[in-house]
């Protein structure tokens, strides 16, 4: 069953510090219209330019994912995007008055909680899923990064991290469905190794870094107090200490999960693949991932989706129809020249596929654009409605005693002209369960696998005849 896009019911306002820039930032996450996707807006820059969340707009993956467009940059986008994606917010405008999304506690949880508090609003447009129909593999042999995406009904992720570290060893993390993100992944914080900390601090790469917004992992025993004192001075802390409890951490930081580092890597994958702007149905397996690998794989998935769309949707027009024209005449009250369905290929629990062959000898071509025959858009809609009527009547006993009547048509779009010689395939799905004879369906019309028209329709099935 089709599901709809969502945006926020109201605005979310948050403030914090940027991990790398150290700048205070005020963030406002606003509702956005259908098909808007995720866009950032730098309201502190003249003209208030927007930056679309898109793999092609990534300009840096050093310690985070940085986007740039229209002369504006936005740093560290991944934790916020992960929260929006996991809460199934499809459309949002993210306004900020500084160049970096606030780090908050180093996880997605503060963003997720704010989204839950304001709530979601359903929109009319269907969600545009990226559905995998084959395995997609990519690897960087030099860096040991591997990604594999395989078809699945859910959005699943499996991660393996291996830093050749005696502290971390090899860790695994899994998310079996996107609903698990809130409880299993969202609280997992960003992390850094103690050996990296001094370099990052001395090179002003973590100006907003704090032991409250990152986990510092200790890789060795017998840390000298002089080293800790030097780090404390760099970080602006009065004192630092080490605790070793399974995994060594700085200043007694307690992990939410023993494999919290691996789970945070999974969180980053959710945020970076959210740049695709589409919900995914597929299982992502990643070995030794990072922002660079995540974004490079996102670009591969985007290209795959683009190529699949260009190939068009395939329908087997040669297979034995479920209903031929004789059977259709027994169900629908229409006759020539107003019977606009030639055959029905299949009917499922929530959908139907029907076919209309366009021929030059149809009466409308006599007076409709003589010399330039185009199948009228209103007749395309009527043909689609008749296919939907067959779906509805297939669900009742004695269908010849019923009729279907239009109640509403929404979101009608004509993509390209339909001409004699074309075979139009109508693919309709239920938008909501049939109740009290009301049938609400959304559909697309295809010629040679390409969409030529789409519409949402509401009709009522009425028993208006007797034996």
**Which of the residues are catalytic?**
291, 368
Strands 215-218 and 191-193: parallel
Look-up of token digits 């205070």:
24
Q: Is the Cβ–Cβ distance between 64 and 46 less than 8 Å?
A: no
Q: Let me know if 200 is exposed, middle or buried by CB neighbors in 10 A (0-12, 13-18, 19+).
A: middle
**What is the 8-class DSSP label of residue 113?**
H
Rg of the chain (C-alpha set): 28
Contact at 8 Å (CB) between 27 and 18?
no
Work out the end-to-end distance of the chain between its first and last CA atoms, rounded to an integer number of angstroms: 34
50-52 β-sheet, strand order: 12-17, 24-31, 92-96, 38-42, 50-52
Q: CB-based burial of residue 466 (10 Å sphere; 0-12 exposed, 13-18 middle, 19+ buried)?
A: exposed
Contacts of 369 (CB under 8 A, 6+ apart): none
Whether the ω angle into residue 337 lies within 30 degrees of 0, i.e. cis, is: yes
CA atoms within 13 A of residue 340's CA, in its CB half-sphere = 21
Instruction: Give burial (CB, 10 Å; 0-12/13-18/19+) of 387.
Output: buried
SS3 200: helix
Helix axes 78-86, 260-273, angle to 10 degrees: 80
Residue among 242, 241, 237 at smallest CA distance from 209: 237
């Amino acid at each position: 069953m089709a599901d709809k896009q969502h945006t926020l019911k109201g605005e979310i306002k948050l403030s914090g510090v940027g991990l790398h820039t150290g700048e205070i930032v005020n963030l406002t996450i606003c509702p956005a219209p259908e098909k808007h996707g995720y866009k950032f807006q730098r309201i502190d820059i003249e003209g208030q330019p927007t930056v679309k969340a898109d793999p092609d707009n990534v300009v840096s993956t050093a310690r985070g994912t940085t986007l740039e467009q229209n002369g504006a940059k936005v740093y560290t986008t991944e934790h916020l995007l992960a929260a929006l994606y996991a809460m199934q917010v499809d459309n949002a405008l993210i306004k900020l008055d500084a160049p970096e999304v606030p780090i908050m506690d180093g996880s997605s949880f503060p963003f997720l909680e704010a989204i839950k508090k304001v709530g979601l609003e359903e929109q009319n447009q269907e969600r545009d899923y990226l559905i995998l129909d084959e395995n997609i593999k990519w690897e960087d042999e030099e860096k040991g990064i591997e990604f594999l995406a395989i078809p699945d009904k859910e959005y699943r992720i499996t991660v393996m991290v291996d830093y050749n570290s005696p502290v971390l060893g090899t860790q695994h993390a899994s998310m079996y469905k996107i609903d698990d993100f809130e409880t299993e992944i969202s609280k997992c914080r960003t992390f850094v190794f103690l050996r990296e900390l001094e370099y990052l601090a001395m090179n002003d790469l973590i100006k907003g870094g704090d032991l409250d917004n990152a986990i510092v992992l200790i890789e060795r025993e017998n840390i000298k107090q002089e080293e800790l004192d030097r780090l404390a001075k760099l970080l602006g802390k009065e004192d630092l200490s080490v605790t070793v409890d399974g995994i060594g951490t700085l200043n007694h930081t307690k992990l939410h999960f023993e494999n919290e580092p691996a789970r945070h890597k999974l969180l980053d994958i959710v945020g970076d693949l959210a740049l695709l702007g589409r919900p995914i149905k597929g299982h992502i397996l990643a070995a030794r991932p990072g922002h660079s690998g995540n974004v490079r794989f996102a670009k591969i998935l985007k290209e795959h989706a683009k190529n699949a769309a260009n190939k068009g949707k395939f329908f087997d027009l040669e297979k034995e129809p479920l209903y031929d024209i004789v059977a259709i005449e027994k169900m629908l009250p229409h006759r020539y020249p107003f019977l606009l369905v030639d055959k029905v290929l299949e009917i499922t629990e929530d959908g139907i596929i029907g076919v209309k062959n366009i021929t030059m000898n149809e009466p409308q071509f006599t007076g409709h654009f003589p010399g330039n025959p185009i199948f009228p858009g209103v007749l395309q809609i009527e043909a689609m409605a008749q296919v939907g009527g067959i779906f509805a009547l297939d669900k009742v006993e004695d269908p010849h005693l019923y009729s279907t009547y239009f109640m509403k048509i929404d979101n009608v779009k004509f993509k390209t002209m339909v001409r004699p010689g074309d075979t139009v395939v109508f693919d309709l799905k239920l938008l909501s369960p049939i109740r009290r004879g009301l049938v609400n369906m959304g559909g697309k019309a295809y010629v040679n696998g390409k969409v030529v028209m789409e519409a949402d329709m509401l009709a009522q099935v009425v028993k208006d005849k007797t034996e």
